[in-house]
Chain A
Amino acid sequence: MRYALILAGLVAGAAPPDIVREAEARRIAVVGKIRPAVVAVFANGGQGGGSGVLIDPAGFALTNFHVVQGVGPTMKCGLADGVLYDAVLVGLDRVGDVALIKLLPKEKDKPFPFVPMGDSDKVQAGDWSIAMGNPFLVATDFTPTVTFGMVSGVHRYQYPAGTLLEYTDCIQIDTSINPGNSGGPLFNDAGELIGINGRGSFEKRGRVNSGVGYAISINQIKNFLGHLYAGIDTDHATLGATVKTTESEDDPTPKILVQAMIEDCDAFRRGLNPDDELVEFAGRPVTSVNQYKNVLGIYPKGWRLPLTYRRDNVKKEILVRLEGLLPKEEAQPKERGPRPERGPRPEPEKRSAEAMKLFKAKTGYANYHFNEQARDTLLTKARSHGDFTGMTGEWVIEGELERKGQKQPIKITIAERPDAENKTTKTVISADLAGVIFAMEPLKAAADPRELRDPPGSGGLLMALYHWHRLQTQAAKGFEGEFTHGGTEPYYPTEGKPGRPALRRIDAGVLRTEHAAVKGKWYYAADGRLLGGEVSQARGEDPCEISFGSLKETGGRKLPHRIDIQFGDQHYGTLLIRTYQLPKS
Chain B
Amino acid sequence: MKIRATIALVFLAAAAPAQDRYATIAQATNARMVKVFGSGGFRGVVAYGTGIVVSPDGYVLTAAGSLLDTPELRVHLPDGRRCSAKLVVIEPALDAALIKVEMVEDLPFFDVAAAAARPLALPGTWILGFTNCFEIATRDEAMSVQRGVIQAYTRLPLQRGIFEAPYTGEVYVLDAVTNNPGAAGGALVSRSGTLLGLIGKELRNAAADTWVNYAVPVQARIEVRDGEAKRIVSLAEFVSLGMRGQYKPTAKPEKSAGDGGYHGIVLVPNVVERTPPYVEETVPGSPAAAAGLRPDDLIVYVDGEPVISVAAFRAIMSRTHAGQVIKLEVRRGDRLEPVELKLGERKPQK
- CB of B177 within 8 A of chain A? yes
Judge whether B181 and A205 touch: CB under 8 Å. Answer: no
Residues facing A in B22-43 (CB within 8 A) are 22-27, 30
Judge whether B4 and A211 touch: CB under 8 Å. Answer: no
Chain B residue at minimum C-beta to C-beta distance from A253:
B81
Enumerate chain A residues within 8 angstroms of B83, measured Cβ to Cβ.
252
- CB of A423 within 8 A of chain B? no
- CB of A109 within 8 A of chain B? no
Among A5, A128, A253, A289, the residue within 8 A (CB) of B19 is A128
Residues facing B in A227-274 (CB within 8 A) are 245, 247, 252-254
Per-position binary interface string of chain B over residues 281-294, scored 1 when its CB falls under 8 Å from any chain A CB and 0 otherwise = 00000000000000
Q: A152-B145, A212-B180 are in contact. Are A205 and B80 (CB under 8 A)?
A: no
- CB of A474 within 8 A of chain B? no
Judge whether B20 and A212 touch: CB under 8 Å. Answer: no
Judge whether A205 and B211 touch: CB under 8 Å. Answer: yes
Q: Which of A126, A209, A254 has the most CB of B within 10 A?
A: A126
Residues facing B in A283-313 (CB within 8 A) are 287-291
Q: Closest approach, in angstroms, between the C-beta of B42 and any C-beta of chain A?
A: 15
Chain B residue at minimum C-beta to C-beta distance from A249:
B103
Judge whether A155 and B141 touch: CB under 8 Å. Answer: yes
Give the A-B contact count at a CB cut-off of 8 A: 123
Judge whether B136 and A2 touch: CB under 8 Å. Answer: no
Residues facing B in A1-43 (CB within 8 A) are 1-2, 5, 8-9, 12, 17-19, 22
Between A and B, 16 residue pairs with Cβ closer than 8 Å are: A19-B14, A125-B23, A125-B145, A126-B22, A128-B19, A149-B147, A151-B145, A152-B144, A153-B143, A153-B145, A210-B180, A211-B176, A252-B82, A252-B103, A288-B141, A290-B141
Judge whether B4 and A5 touch: CB under 8 Å. Answer: yes
- CB of A371 within 8 A of chain B? no
Q: How far is the CA of A172 from the CA of B132 in the complex (A)?
A: 12
Per-position binary interface string of chain B over residues 126-170, scored 1 when its CB falls under 8 Å from any chain A CB and 0 otherwise = 001000011011111111111100000000000000000000000
Judge whether B145 and A126 touch: CB under 8 Å. Answer: yes
Among B14, B103, B142, B180, the residue within 8 A (CB) of A125 is B142
Q: Closest approach, in angstroms, between the C-beta of B48 and any C-beta of chain A?
A: 13
Judge whether B176 and A17 touch: CB under 8 Å. Answer: no
Q: How far is the CA of A203 from the CA of B181 in the complex (A)?
A: 9
Judge whether A150 and B147 touch: CB under 8 Å. Answer: yes
Q: Closest approach, in angstroms, between the C-beta of B219 and any C-beta of chain A?
A: 25
Q: Closest approach, in angstroms, between the C-beta of A228 and any C-beta of chain B?
A: 28
Judge whether B133 and A212 touch: CB under 8 Å. Answer: yes
Known: A152-B146, A174-B176, A253-B81. 12 other contacts (CB 8 A): A1-B3, A5-B4, A12-B11, A150-B145, A152-B144, A153-B145, A203-B181, A210-B177, A211-B176, A211-B180, A290-B138, A290-B139
Number of interface residues of A (CB under 8 A): 46
Enumerate chain A residues within 8 angstroms of B320, measured Cβ to Cβ.
none
Q: How far is the CA of A1 from the CA of B128 in the complex (A)?
A: 40
Q: How far is the CA of A382 from the CA of B142 in the complex (A)?
A: 47
Q: How far is the CA of A440 from the CA of B285 in the complex (A)?
A: 108
Q: How far is the CA of A154 from the CA of B144 in the complex (A)?
A: 9
- CB of B322 within 8 A of chain A? no
Enumerate chain A residues within 8 angstroms of B44, measured Cβ to Cβ.
204
Q: How far is the CA of A469 from the CA of B234 in the complex (A)?
A: 83
Q: Which 10 residue pairs across A and B have the least CB separation, nearest first?
A: A211-B177, A126-B22, A126-B26, A124-B23, A126-B23, A288-B139, A252-B81, A174-B146, A152-B144, A201-B134
- CB of B226 within 8 A of chain A? no
Q: How far is the CA of A534 from the CA of B311 in the complex (A)?
A: 71
Q: Closest approach, in angstroms, between the C-beta of B292 and any C-beta of chain A?
A: 42
- CB of B178 within 8 A of chain A? yes
- CB of B280 within 8 A of chain A? no
- CB of A317 within 8 A of chain B? no
Q: How far is the CA of A151 from the CA of B134 in the complex (A)?
A: 16
Q: How far is the CA of A153 from the CA of B143 in the complex (A)?
A: 7
Enumerate chain B residues within 8 angstroms of A212, measured Cβ to Cβ.
133-134, 136, 144, 177, 180
Judge whether A153 and B141 touch: CB under 8 Å. Answer: yes
- CB of B79 within 8 A of chain A? yes
- CB of A156 within 8 A of chain B? yes
